[in-house]
């Protein structure tokens, strides 16, 4: 994403923009409790946007039930909507997924998803805002 398209705020600005629970996930890389999120069992037709900057991230057509306790998608709306980073925190090796526009933490991507991608984007509901089609 071009630098001019990016959404950049200071930590204090994000604190005023986001509720404390969303700030904890999006800016501090927290994780909501499994099965707690509003989109874990949500199957309406539409697009899930970044809660922090409103960038469209995941289409409901790529959403699937994983049983993991978090909304799960087989792919983002486009390859440049998200960025992926190696994450060695908590004694695990994972791939973190962030919003390409605001750097907000979304979740992680795993290699145990359904065809055709075989990927499971495991995303916090609190990082998302659903927009019906």
Annotated catalytic residues are 122
Q: Shortest approach of Fe ion to residue 26 CB, angstroms?
A: 8
Stretch that binds Fe ion, among 16-24, 47-55, 71-79, 110-118 (CB under 5 A): 47-55
- Judged by CB under 5 A, how many residues of this single chain contact Fe ion? 8
Stretch that binds Fe ion, among 40-48, 61-69, 98-106, 116-124 (CB under 5 A): 98-106
Decide: is 101 part of the binding site for Fe ion (CB under 5 A).
Answer: yes
**Cβ–Cβ under 8 Å, residues 72 and 113:** yes
* 12 contact partners, CB below 8 Å, separation of at least 6: none
Q: Shortest approach of Fe ion to residue 98 CB, angstroms?
A: 8
Number of residues in the chain: 133
**Cβ–Cβ under 8 Å, residues 97 and 123:** yes
Decide: is 107 part of the binding site for Fe ion (CB under 5 A).
Answer: no
Sign for the pseudo-dihedral over CA of 16, 37, 62, 118: positive
Question: Considering only CA atoms, which of 7, 117, 131 is closest in space to residue 64?
Answer: 117
Return d(Cα 98, Cα 66) in angstroms, integer. 20
**Site map for Fe ion, 49-88, x if CB under 5 A?**
-x-xx-x---------------------------------
Residues that bind Fe ion (CB under 5 A): 50, 52-53, 55, 99, 101-102, 104
């Amino acid at each position: 994403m071009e630098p001019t398209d990016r959404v950049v705020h200071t930590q204090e600005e994000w604190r005023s923009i986001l509720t404390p629970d969303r700030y904890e996930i999006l800016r501090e890389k927290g994780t909501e409790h499994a099965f707690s999120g509003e989109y874990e069992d949500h199957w309406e037709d539409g697009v899930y946007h970044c809660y922090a900057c409103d960038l469209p991230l995941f289409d409901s057509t790529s959403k699937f039930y994983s049983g993991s306790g978090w909304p799960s998608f087989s792919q983002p709306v486009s390859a440049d909507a998200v960025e992926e980073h190696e994450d060695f925190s908590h004694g695990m090796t994972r791939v973190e997924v962030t919003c390409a526009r605001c750097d907000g933490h979304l979740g992680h991507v795993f290699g145990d998803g359904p065809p055709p991608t075989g990927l499971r984007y495991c995303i916090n509901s609190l990082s998302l805002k659903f927009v019906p089609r």
